[in-house]
Amino acid sequence: MKVILASKSPRRVEYLKYIVPDFEAEPSDYEEDNSCHMAPEELVQMLARGKAADVAKKHSGDDCLIISGDTVVSIDGQILNKPKDENDARNMIRMLQGNTHQVCTGVCIIRQNEGISEEKVFFERTNVVISKMSEEEIEEYIASNEMRPSGQVMHPWEDKAGAYGIQDSFGMKYISGIEGDFYNVVGIPLARIYAEIKKYF
């Protein structure tokens, strides 16, 4: 049985190896639409299902297990997507600092074999507490750079929902509490995924 991760996220690829040593990463061509007026848990499940279904179509005759995920950050019901620019990132961090917010990841698992397809869709929610930050600390973070696994030097808030990563220096400095699955905040709730897929091995 072939296992396919329908994602291009370096973090999802890195962490899935802990529970599935042998798999292929195949990004989906599914067009994400985060503008839908839906609750975070509904939105992430819809997007995860779309990604998995897109990859599943390309492997309709294969014996395979497809895993996809989509993650959003929200506070007081407002979804924070990836920041468009520096000012957008600054506003997000101002909203999050000194507060508790939610990280919600939707996962879709599709098992295909001999023309039969079985689908499981679920979500995990984690509460994250960010300490109070001064304006100087916020500006220092916005201006900082980091080396990504790809070798690119980028601002740490770029291409990240909510403008931060829990596994980066921001998380080490300012995240003071977490309730739920740590890996869910990274974008891949490993314990729940393992519980769902172990029956196939």
Active site residues: 70
Residue 35: CB partners within 8 Å, gap ≥ 6? none
* Overall residue count recorded for the chain in this entry: 201
Other residues' Cβ atoms within 10 Å of the Cβ of residue 138:
17
Dig out the tokens for 134 from the structure. 């001064």
Dig out the tokens for 55 from the structure. 């990859």
| Residue tagged 């919600």 (tokens) | 104
Specify the pairing of strand 100-113 against strand 64-75: antiparallel
